[in-house]
Amino acid sequence: MTFDGVRPVLHLAFDDGPGEPIRYPDLDRLVERMLAAGVDGLVVLGLASEAWTLTERERDAVLERVSAVVAGRVPVVVGIDGATAVAIDRGRRAAAGGAAGLMVLPPARTGADEALRAHFWNLADATGLPILVQDSPGVTGVTLPAAFLVELASHPLVRAVKIELGGAGSRITALAAAGLEVVAGWGGLHYPESVRRGATGVMPGCDLGPSLVAIHRALRAGDAAAAERRYRAILPLLAYEAQSLDLLLLGAKRLLRGQGILGTDGLRAPSRRLDPEEAVSLDALFAQLGRDGVPGFLAPAA
């Protein structure tokens, strides 16, 4: 498979009680909502899924639930992290659970060296699945030089990268020119430019999944003007949420709870909540997008 098109990363809702159990019916509704929006695939157990808060049993249960609801309608990509032994175990379980590909974070505080190259290649060999390298130095503390990513791509299953850092325009250009498949990250910020530079897809949060489907389709149809208009409509929300990963997740969950898709909108503990001013700002942005008729947003009640 390839990783092109719009493939939102699924959020998880948690009950407020002891242990904060996952609200699986909410996840079912979210999957169906994304499928109805015409997405090209789905991603689960990524950063936007708060995968670092899940037990191994929960990781398996989430993938099983998503795979059952999707029922083969689109490919499901599974996020993987951890040391090599952990990553291989998770990757094999993901393959057994129906994953079509893996999105892999490098282990934290490693270097771009022979050991890290072996980490990705051994994971690919052990699972037989295509791997998207998640280049997210703000999360992992790992810097992946472009030359190292090109070297990784000499393995036939490690030929894609998701760029999760600011100011990455020239990096996208260089990697695409070297023959790698590049997926835009950062929630979709600068997506039209990323496509012009050679990116073939994006993995946003589910709040902006439907609107980015419309933008992606316009770009693929050659209607750059329509894509730019649609992009500029969501840019204020993108810029606001891009302040931090927490704010991106809290904003998406607040929108989806307000639309009745999720029953709760908090992050799993320990975590912060939106403060009153952030909530006011987000609600104003959601309302404006609804009035503008942007896909995925509801017009405010009269």
Give the pair of three-digit tokens for residue 105.
């974070």
Residue 112 binned pLDDT confidence (cut-offs 50, 70, 90): confident
- The region that residue 199 occupies, defined by phi over 0 for left and psi between -120 and 50 for alpha, beta otherwise, is beta
Residue-range domains of the chain with CATH: 5-223 (3.20.20.70)
Residue 299 binned pLDDT confidence (cut-offs 50, 70, 90): confident
261: Cβ contacts below 8 Å, ≥ 6 apart:
26, 29, 30, 33
CA distances from 247 to 111, 163, 226 (A): 29, 19, 28
Q: Per-residue pLDDT tens for 17-54?
A: 889 999 999 999 999 999 999 999 999 999 999 999 99
Q: Per-residue pLDDT tens for 58-109?
A: 999 999 999 999 999 999 999 999 999 999 999 999 999 999 999 999 998 8
Check if the beta carbon of residue 120 is closer than 8 Å to that of residue 110.
no
Residue 302 binned pLDDT confidence (cut-offs 50, 70, 90): low
Distance CA 169, CA 197 (A): 7
pLDDT at 51: 97
pLDDT at 87: 98
Residue 130 has pLDDT above 90, yes or no: yes
pLDDT at 70: 98
pLDDT, average across residues 114-141? 96
Distance CA 238, CA 252 (A): 11
Distance CA 160, CA 114 (A): 19
